[in-house]
Structure 1
């Protein structure tokens, strides 16, 4: 049987980018995606985690998701939507909304559940994907999808002899779920895995949370075995395959940092027929997401930078409407061996077309630093620091050198604190 589905991930609804909301960009992306769903009528939409940017998303971000799911169901009532939690999401939160989403043919998987006897509850983690047969007026299973949310150590270790540590627990969960899915699968049904994880060989960008140290915790694609037809990954924002064509990150639909501004932002449209030969059974079409707000970076000697600023286009959509959310983002990196003029920011803002750009950062490199990009630069960052940045600043101020293990420990504590804060708020 042929199954058609969309693979997307890492929406990060509710993101504040240097304290500016991305609501407009996300709204435009979701409207575009509705058009694609209406046109292609896929059997399923797979959203592979990091739906929200933070564990406690704003009400606006939650409304965006709920409105999208309602609109998607209206234009494609037979389509299923499967969502899993990423490391930025609260598994508890996304599972709580599931009863409200059943009417939209949507299923959320936020946590790995265990039976009272400490065995894995596979029922919630293996989902059928259906095709509606108009002749029989019945649904037929065309694929099985193993749904694996982000696997936090505290939620999967210590349940039995097979889960004594994080890595053994990950192997146990994958083996159990894949074996169970194979037992349910018939010869003409596809087998899909959706997972939010960092795979070995995956390329990161600067906006991904530093949860991996020295690549020690990155997962091997060997976990999936040879019988999986497609692996839909989330977590890394750059679209890429991992070793083999059928193991892929879809990437984020909008650039979440300046390091991602040149990525091909997309949603993958997958057509899969397990009965065909290996060379023909998988068709992958990348649907390019239109860029509504640009991330511009200007570099060069200071005089050259000022000239570039004066020649920036003053587009009607950015300037005349008077709304911040339509203005492009701007980062400046200039080369100079002299300290920055005290009124540099004022000079830059005067050179810019009025009310057209959102100036996020001014960064200076010396001539020597420009020749060696690994050397630290001085910068004026116009955004408030994150908890991780504050920790790194205090750590360095105490005279300690950078330590990846310490930073990972801090990030684990921060994640746990955010989870507890959410659970306490909900109770």
Structure 2
């Protein structure tokens, strides 16, 4: 049987003042075609469906419209959806009784402090059907879990609570499955060793733990379909996989190979995995590619050629200027250079050049752009200046927890 793994759609995202509705619509149209062409048996969506806990009506309409279209085109398709940290667990789960009639299973919340009774197991352990109607695998649909969701003894860490949760669910699922049926885990969390996009991924700061050990996932899981990190990547010898987001959610992600992942199962074994690269509906560019003096940057902007695109799919452009001070007419000159081009200008960033007296042998730190004046980036710069420091991961986690506390106090 064939499964398709996707995550982190972030419907309703606003990119530097521009909505992504047309881009998400194009992605969904492409995904619908892929589901039909590849004769996919089950679609797994591993969290962060929406960009905000209170998504717009337009974003919700887009998502639920996609579910209806997917089932209309692929009538036997199983769809499993879990909530991510950006989603409202209660809101995303509210229409579950109706969606279940369409073959869509939604798990928004799970209280691991309660016993795993039969009703709860039916919500978390979901049979995935082959084309012949037989059960070929089981999806263990674990949504994003907060510390309050976990059953933990005094002194237990968040990671220990997550590990215990997966262990209990796997043990219960093992009693239901047949030997030739795979157990496929789902989760929305940060696994140690994975690359992070600090510009757009909200830190998961829980009990001082930022990332969790890959060993929390029991060996019985044939494949683990993860969400939260936007860069496609594999861990645990390929058994754990982030498919990544379908669209770049910040300029730091424009070089990612955005994809969905097809998993082919033969009995309880993964036969193959195949990444399907997602066509980028709208170009996202930095022009020039690196900061240049204003006149040189303007020359590149005048030479820039873009194809006509439908409304909402015009290229998103950020202009990078190298200058000590911003000329008062800088925006006007940029607008003049881009006149007549169908683009969406997301902003102009200015980077100060290094002092002329600095030599290659000196250790003068580079001047920071305005976008670099973020707490996480400044803290990382401090760590970079002290390469011999002990336990940088622990310091990152401690700093992130303090920062989260500051945000909550400010709110």
Q: TM-score range, shorter-chain basis? A: 0.7 to 0.9
The structure-2 alpha-carbon separation of the partners of 1:184 and 1:118, relative to structure 1 and needing over 3 Å to count, comes to: closer
Of 398, 404, 419, the match for 2:400: 404
CA shift digits 1:194-228 (9 cap, x unpaired)? 11110011101121012249983311111113221
Q: Which runs of 5+ in 2 are unaligned?
A: 380-397
Of 303, 307, 313, the match for 1:311: 303
CA shift digits 1:142-176 (9 cap, x unpaired)? 10111111111122256xx4896533321221110
1:421 match = none
2:335 match = 349
In structure 1, how many angstroms separate the alpha carbons of the residues matched to 2:224 and 2:113?
A: 26
> Does structure 2 retain, via aligned residues, the 8 Å contact 1:55–1:88?
yes
In structure 2, how many angstroms separate the alpha carbons of the residues matched to 1:157 and 1:182?
A: 21
2:256 counterpart of 1:273: no
In structure 1, how many angstroms separate the alpha carbons of the residues matched to 2:76 and 2:175?
A: 26
Of the structure 1 ranges 340-349 and 372-381, higher mean CA displacement relative to structure 2 is found in 372-381
User: Residue 92 of structure 1: CA displacement?
Assistant: 0.3
2:202 match = 209
Q: Which runs of 5+ in 1 are unaligned?
A: 134-138, 393-401, 418-427
User: Residue 76 of structure 1: CA displacement?
Assistant: 0.6
In structure 2, how many angstroms separate the alpha carbons of the residues matched to 1:364 and 1:150?
A: 38
2:172 match = 180
In structure 2, how many angstroms separate the alpha carbons of the residues matched to 1:340 and 1:290?
A: 36
Of 320, 332, 335, the match for 1:333: 320
User: Residue 32 of structure 1: CA displacement?
Assistant: 0.5
The structure-2 alpha-carbon separation of the partners of 1:174 and 1:275, relative to structure 1 and needing over 3 Å to count, comes to: closer
2:191 counterpart of 1:199: yes
Q: SS of 1:286's equivalent?
A: strand
1:231 match = 224
CA shift digits 1:305-339 (9 cap, x unpaired)? 11000011142226xxxx3x132111122222x31
The structure-2 alpha-carbon separation of the partners of 1:31 and 1:157, relative to structure 1 and needing over 3 Å to count, comes to: same
User: Residue 409 of structure 1: CA displacement?
Assistant: 2.1
TM-score (norm 1): 0.81
Counting matched residue pairs gives: 380
TM-score (norm 2): 0.85
CA shift digits 1:71-94 (9 cap, x unpaired)? 100111101000000000011011
2:33 match = 35
1:127 match = 126
The structure-2 alpha-carbon separation of the partners of 1:116 and 1:317, relative to structure 1 and needing over 3 Å to count, comes to: closer
> Does structure 2 retain, via aligned residues, the 8 Å contact 1:199–1:220?
yes
User: Residue 24 of structure 1: CA displacement?
Assistant: 0.2
In structure 1, how many angstroms separate the alpha carbons of the residues matched to 2:264 and 2:76?
A: 17
In structure 2, how many angstroms separate the alpha carbons of the residues matched to 1:405 and 1:269?
A: 36
CA RMSD of aligned residues (A): 3.0
In structure 1, how many angstroms separate the alpha carbons of the residues matched to 2:327 and 2:81?
A: 50
Q: SS of 2:350's equivalent?
A: strand
> Does structure 1 retain, via aligned residues, the 8 Å contact 2:109–2:143?
yes
The structure-2 alpha-carbon separation of the partners of 1:215 and 1:30, relative to structure 1 and needing over 3 Å to count, comes to: farther
1:152 match = 146
Of the structure 1 ranges 16-25 and 296-305, higher mean CA displacement relative to structure 2 is found in 296-305
> Does structure 2 retain, via aligned residues, the 8 Å contact 1:157–1:166?
no
The structure-2 alpha-carbon separation of the partners of 1:72 and 1:315, relative to structure 1 and needing over 3 Å to count, comes to: same
2:392 match = none
2:255 match = 262
User: Residue 123 of structure 1: CA displacement?
Assistant: 3.3
Of the structure 1 ranges 161-170 and 123-132, higher mean CA displacement relative to structure 2 is found in 161-170
2:274 match = 285
Q: SS of 2:134's equivalent?
A: strand
2:369 counterpart of 1:377: yes
The structure-2 alpha-carbon separation of the partners of 1:142 and 1:57, relative to structure 1 and needing over 3 Å to count, comes to: same
Of the structure 1 ranges 353-362 and 252-261, higher mean CA displacement relative to structure 2 is found in 353-362
User: Residue 407 of structure 1: CA displacement?
Assistant: 1.2
CA shift digits 1:218-269 (9 cap, x unpaired)? 1111111322110100000000001311210001111111111111111111
